[in-house]
């Protein structure tokens, strides 16, 4: 996975929230949050696939759990 540049992430954040004060390590924190979210989504999707007796995680398994994972991630 290619890590996005810190400048591009900061530009996107500034565009969406112009008055936001952005720290030095924001790009690293965003990347870590993204990785934690995708890991949780993969684990929940795997559990859903196992529950439905499927050996493969399919799109519908992810779609069924994404709303619950988003709720847990918001904090």
Burial class (CB within 10 angstroms; exposed 0-12, middle 13-18, buried 19+) of 20: exposed
Torsion of CA 9, 11, 13, 18, to 10 degrees: 170
pTM comes to 0.74
Per residue in 45-64, pLDDT (tens digit) is: 999 999 999 999 999 999 99
DSSP annotation of 52 = T
- Cα–Cα distance measured from residue 10 to residue 14, given in angstroms and rounded to the nearest whole number: 6
Domains detected in the chain: 6-74 (1.10.20.10)
Per residue in 18-27, pLDDT (tens digit) is: 888 888 888 8
């Amino acid at each position: 996975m290619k890590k996005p540049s810190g400048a591009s992430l900061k530009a996107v954040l500034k565009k969406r929230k112009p008055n936001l004060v952005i720290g030095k390590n924001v790009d690293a924190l965003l990347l870590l949050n993204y990785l934690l979210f995708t890991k949780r989504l993969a684990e929940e999707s795997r559990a859903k696939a196992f529950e439905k007796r499927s050996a493969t995680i399919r799109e519908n398994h992810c779609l069924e759990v994404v709303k619950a994972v988003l709720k847990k991630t918001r904090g």
